[in-house]
A and B are shown apart, each in its own frame.
Chain A
Amino acid sequence: MDSLFQLFYDEANEMVEGMEQVLLALEGGEPDPETVNALFRYAHSFKGNSAAMGFTHLSKFTHGLESAMEVLRKEQRPLTPEMATLLLQAVDVIRTLLERTRTEGDVGDPNCDTLLAQINAVLNGGAVPTPATNPTPTPQPEPQVTVAPSSEESVGAGTRYRVFYQPAPKLSQEHDPLQLLKELTEYGQISECRFRAQTPPIDQLSVDACYGNWEFTLQTEFEPAIIRAILELSAEGAEVRIEPLEAPATASASPIPVETAPTPEAPTTSAVATVQASSGETPTAPTQNARSEAQSVRVSTEKIDALMNLVSEIVIAQSMLSSVQNETLDERTHSAITQMERHVRELHERVMAIRMLPVSYLFNRFPRMVRDTANKLGKRVNLVIEGEETELDRTLLEALADPLTHIIRNAIDHGIETPEDRRAKGKPETGTILLSAYQAEGRIYIEVRDDGKGIDTERVRQKAIQLGWITENDHPTQEQLYDFIFQPGFSTAQQVSDLSGRGVGMDVVRRNVESLGGMISIQSEKGQGTRLLLRVPLTLAIMDGLGLKVADEHYIVPLTTVIEAFQAESLQRNALFDRHEMVNVRGEFIPLVRLRQFIGLPPNDESGLVIVLEQDGQQIALLVDAIVGQQQVVLKSLEENFVRVPGFAGATILGDGRVALILDVGDIIRRTHANNERFATVA
């Protein structure tokens, strides 16, 4: 039962996202029939699924939505911004309903009906030819003309409809005609109700069948679509006809009423305002989805994570096996171990591949966010997404969501200018934000580029002076100025907006990215725009490391940070004020960190190796006793059962089962600089 609900929610969430994407894609563009169809299908499957789960409010609402989209689909109308906003709101309502369904059970939301009414009003109103686009009345505007005034009228006393209701032949708990009719009284007044029985011979009677139909007059302020939704609820095959009673031109001869079900009695000659009953659609509508989904299996992420953990254990066990290889082994065992090593590596890669998701999972949330944020700020922003098929480890994707959201918000809030400013500067009024992802050198790069006003380095400098970080006489390099932006407590926004000034600064963004083993860099041209580049590893769990040795202790440094290594004796060393050691690597001075000192061991003689490490474009030289070799390591958390240890990113388990700590190069660099700066201020 639980898993059924879970399946429903998983699917529902996907559908909500899908609807949102389709809506955003449709907006402003040509009404591509296929995308409108997709939208319709989403609403349709949603209705079906929620009805099957017994979520009446959800299915009622999505049914109304489906009806609205059917109109869009039939008429191939472009999606007006007004309509798009309404439909996006509808998506939000679905989200709310979903969430409430999950927590509170089958409950409704007060927004549902008003929103549906609004959508229908726009749909109906929008079809009326406006003077601007079509000055001469089209030959068939009658249906809308009859509808529009009645819906305005209905605000007051309500409109009277003649309703014919033939329940689906098969009754069920969710579909109890009497219950539905009772519910209908909450929406309006029922009068002149007539029940027509159609009882078959007694030997053909079935317990769960309905033999008869109703016809009644309903006075309601609600749109016919809502009334229809209530009556058709979760019942495939119900027949509902709603005709406005006071509409002047309506006669039984011409079937132009607001809504007409495609029943044999009422052929749908006028498709304009017709909503097709769900019954005809059901079996074929979601076929396209079904076809592509049949190729894949839905697996919970927990299962994949468990599998991944197991593979990590096998990698460790494998390296234990490999380490005994050198000792006396017969040839068969030896070759078996070698073979297994190969398979384990492949197994690891395949399981990794399962965890990989296209970055579009992450990027898809941004068009909506950009749209809303830009609207709120009165800016015009076009978000261009590239490389959304690039694949990334699932855990990384999740961890990147917050930093990226923040960066993009910043770009809109602080980067992109208002349309007026842009016009004044001779730029197109609509700003562009480019969000792209690509893979290179075994890493994933994610770039956020805007064509806004860029970073005003002078203002950054002033702010730094104000904060007491530098003095009036200091003229930091551009790189150092950019680095200020990532420092805690820095924000140049002249006014704290409710969007980006919420206390989460770029320092948090950088910390988040670095905790993923990634880095972030910034480039900007005043007046031209800003470019933020995030570089993250392909995966978090397993990485290539370089084994180091100091005394009898074993440490790992991430291979991605290693540039080169030298014999310590071969390098010229200088010590600033006898304390801050530097090594001269081809004329460039790099701060030297003695690993022995860093981990609190007494210094040895001056022999050993110097490894040049780089992170965030900054380098340090690390003096170690020896290099053990390159190895694949499984990253394990120290914090999970212990505490965060400064200078270390985590730990791993070596081939012999012992634990080795993994150096956090970024942290060591920062600590070294902090030490040097403290010293500089004292001097």
Chain B
Amino acid sequence: MQTLETTTTESTIQEQNTNKYLVFQIGGETYGVPLLQVQEIRTYTPATRVPNAPDYVLGVMNLRGNIIAVIDARTRFGLPPVPDEQETVVVVAQVQGKIFGLRLDSVSDVMDIPEDSIQPTPPIASEATQKFLSGVVQSDERVVILLNLDEIFDIQALSQMVA
């Protein structure tokens, strides 16, 4: 993790318009989130269920003495859940000063994505899922869908739902 962050800082200095993205697969598609928002990647250990929370909140877990919520990416996007595997990970990220975990099937890569190669999301998804997306990138043979973490862990909406 330490090394990842170091290279990120260096590259932003050298090439102003290229950002690093953490890339992973859900189902058959490839998704990416800005690496700058990612704090660390952990293996998934079962979270403690929070009563009356929405289904995509798996629960809360202990991150070195802090209690953080874990969001299941699949449930959040309306995909059927899959059981825990060895590769199942939690990506710990920060939005609006709050830390949360995003449970993913696996992570695959870190990618440099030039800012000008990001295209607006085509209106393929429903409006409900559209808000999670911040753009699309065509890279070599594959398409990477960029995700908006602020919408995935929407603290305002959550605080109303739980209360």
Residues of A whose CB lies within 8 Å of any CB of B are 309, 312-313, 316, 553-554, 598-600, 636-638, 640-648, 650-651, 653, 657-661
A312 with B65: CB separation less than 8 A: yes
B37 interface residue, CB < 8 Å from A? no
| Residues of chain A with a CB closer than 8 A to B4's CB | none
Given known A642-B100, A644-B163, contact A658–B48 (CB-CB < 8 A):
yes
B133 interface residue, CB < 8 Å from A? no
B98 to chain A, nearest CB (A): 5
Using A553-B48, A644-B159 as known contacts, list a sample of 8 further A-B pairs with CB atoms less than 8 Å apart, ordered by residue number in A.
A316-B65, A638-B67, A642-B69, A642-B158, A645-B52, A648-B51, A650-B67, A651-B48
A670 to chain B, nearest CB (A): 14
| Residues of chain A with a CB closer than 8 A to B62's CB | 653, 657-659
B56 to chain A, nearest CB (A): 13
CA distance A313 to B50 in the complex (A): 23
Convert B49-73 into 0s and 1s, putting 1 for each residue whose CB lies closer than 8 angstroms to a CB of A.
1111100000111100111110000
A641 with B66: CB separation less than 8 A: yes
CA distance A644 to B158 in the complex (A): 10
CA distance A553 to B59 in the complex (A): 12
B60 with A651: CB separation less than 8 A: yes
CA distance A646 to B158 in the complex (A): 13
Q: Which residue of B lies closest to A647 (CB)?
A: B51
B65 with A659: CB separation less than 8 A: no
Name the interface size band of chain B.
20 to 34
Q: Which residue of A lies closest to B48 (CB)?
A: A659
A245 to chain B, nearest CB (A): 67
CA distance A657 to B100 in the complex (A): 17
Which residue of B60, B100, B158, B163 is within 8 Å of A659 (Cβ)? B60
A294 to chain B, nearest CB (A): 37
A443 to chain B, nearest CB (A): 26
B67 with A659: CB separation less than 8 A: yes
| Residues of chain B with a CB closer than 8 A to A637's CB | 67
CA distance A283 to B52 in the complex (A): 68
B46 to chain A, nearest CB (A): 8
Considering residues A648, A651, A659, which has the most beta carbons from chain B within 10 angstroms of its beta carbon? A659
B162 interface residue, CB < 8 Å from A? yes
| Residues of chain A with a CB closer than 8 A to B48's CB | 553-554, 651, 658-661
A645 with B162: CB separation less than 8 A: yes
B65 with A661: CB separation less than 8 A: no
Given known A659-B60, A659-B61, contact A645–B66 (CB-CB < 8 A):
no
B51 with A641: CB separation less than 8 A: no
Q: Which residue of B lies closest to A642 (CB)?
A: B69
A646 with B68: CB separation less than 8 A: no
CA distance A657 to B49 in the complex (A): 15
B75-112 contacts to A, CB under 8 A, are 98-100
Which residue of B45, B46, B49, B100 is within 8 Å of A641 (Cβ)? B100
B47 interface residue, CB < 8 Å from A? yes
A636 with B162: CB separation less than 8 A: no
| Residues of chain A with a CB closer than 8 A to B66's CB | 636, 640-641
CA distance A647 to B163 in the complex (A): 10
| Residues of chain B with a CB closer than 8 A to A636's CB | 65-67
| Residues of chain B with a CB closer than 8 A to A598's CB | 51
CA distance A651 to B46 in the complex (A): 16
| Residues of chain B with a CB closer than 8 A to A647's CB | 51
Q: Which residue of B lies closest to A652 (CB)?
A: B67
Which residue of B51, B61, B69, B100 is within 8 Å of A599 (Cβ)? B51
A659 with B69: CB separation less than 8 A: no
A645 with B65: CB separation less than 8 A: no
B68 with A600: CB separation less than 8 A: no
A-B contact pairs, 11 of them (CB 8 A): A600-B52, A640-B67, A641-B100, A643-B162, A643-B163, A644-B162, A646-B162, A651-B60, A653-B62, A658-B45, A659-B48
B26 interface residue, CB < 8 Å from A? no
| Residues of chain B with a CB closer than 8 A to A646's CB | 52, 162-163
| Residues of chain B with a CB closer than 8 A to A642's CB | 50, 60, 67-69, 98, 100, 155, 158
| Residues of chain B with a CB closer than 8 A to A644's CB | 159, 162-163
B51 with A643: CB separation less than 8 A: no
CA distance A455 to B9 in the complex (A): 65
B110-163 contacts to A, CB under 8 A, are 155, 158-159, 162-163
Q: Which residue of A lies closest to B98 (CB)?
A: A641
B163 with A641: CB separation less than 8 A: no
Q: Which residue of A lies closest to B46 (CB)?
A: A658
B68 with A641: CB separation less than 8 A: yes
A640 to chain B, nearest CB (A): 7
CA distance A650 to B65 in the complex (A): 13
A-B pairs, top 8 by smallest CB distance, nearest first, are A599-B51, A643-B159, A659-B48, A642-B69, A641-B68, A651-B67, A641-B98, A653-B62
B143 to chain A, nearest CB (A): 33
CA distance A554 to B62 in the complex (A): 15
B8 to chain A, nearest CB (A): 23
B5-54 contacts to A, CB under 8 A, are 45-53
B53 with A645: CB separation less than 8 A: yes
| Residues of chain B with a CB closer than 8 A to A309's CB | 65
A639 to chain B, nearest CB (A): 9
| Residues of chain B with a CB closer than 8 A to A641's CB | 66-69, 98-100
CA distance A658 to B61 in the complex (A): 7
A555 to chain B, nearest CB (A): 10
B163 with A661: CB separation less than 8 A: no
